[in-house]
Amino acid sequence: MPTLIDGHGRVIDYLRVSVTDRCDLRCTYCLPQAFKGFEEPANWLTHEEMARLVSRFVALGVRKVRLTGGEPLLRRGVCDLAARIKAMPGVRDLSVSTNATRLDRMASGLKEAGVDRLNISLDSLDEACMTRITGRNCLNEVLAGIRAASQAGFRPIKLNMVVQDGVNDQEVMPMVMFAREHGLVLRLIEPMPVGDTGRATTGRNLSALGDALARELGLVPQVLGRGAGPARYWQDPRSEMSLGVITPMSQHFCEACNRVRLGVDGTLYLCLGQNDQVPLGAWLRDGATDADLDDAIHAAMARKPERHEFQERPEKIIRFMAQTGG
């Protein structure tokens, strides 16, 4: 079986694909309210081009694919693209990251397309707090999306909560109780200094908070199966709820990194916290053969950075999170 190995001996088997850099929200840690620097639609890869690039990664050993954005459900035909990727031999796990504002209308279609899992952004259960963070009163839409996903049969459903000091950190326990009530996986995430918005966001040390919550709630350490990423998890023995923490700042997990990212224009980003990138989309449009693309991917893996420098050089990444793709 083909295997992609980077220059530090890590197996790269996970590809995140941004199908659009547009979003219908303006979360304070992601995009500025007045941001207009989106990629021109003419530079977006078509679904056919996107599928071709993904197929090269799958042929070389990628087994997990996630569709991201921006907000991926804004892109027309995303269910068709998902079905196309899921049908590729070798794809074990296909997931979607979404803010869920459109999920109530699309959950069934995503399930029928073969999507295995959903990650849903939800930073607060308080309407005013949610509006402050996202720039829009969208809480009811997101909650409706979560209900629709559950009714469509998605298991597990992961909630991603970016915990900001003095903004929504008081919402952590209500979110835990919500996840317990509905049998969800709640993942607490430290904000990263990506773009001006990320650098302006102050997070909490979630390594310490996760340990404290586990003790207080009687949670037990858990190892999740398929699709599990960098989070540390605990299981609630009294319900189906799991709690995870993702700690790129207080306890980085770069030594176990298994992923790379494709932007909507086909740019390959080798690290979320570095500037290393490869213009695969441009080369594809210039007539690159599959063999050319495979060679370029192998060469890129050889120079994938060992780790981010968020602590040492937080000013380094000027692009915004939505431009890289989740």
pLDDT tens-digit profile of 154-164? Answer: 999 999 999 99
- What would the two tokens of residue 229 be? 């990423």
Distance CA 51, CA 34 (A): 32
Show the domains of the chain with their CATH numbers. Answer: 14-324 (3.20.20.70)
CA proximity to 84, closest of 125, 129, 45: 45
Identify the DSSP state of 45: P
How high is the mean pLDDT of the chain? 88
Identify the DSSP state of 18: E
43-47, 133-137, 180-184, 269-273: least confidently modelled range: 269-273
Asked if pLDDT for residue 140 goes beyond 80, the answer is yes
Distance CA 168, CA 161 (A): 9
CA proximity to 182, closest of 239, 229, 226: 239
Contact 261, 194 (CB under 8 A): no
User: For 27-53, what is the mean pLDDT?
Assistant: 88
Query: Tell me, what's the pLDDT at 249?
Result: 63
Distance CA 38, CA 110 (A): 26
Burial profile 198-219: b = 16 or more Cβ within 10 angstroms, e = fewer: bbebebbebeebbeebbeebeb
Question: pTM for this structure?
Answer: 0.90
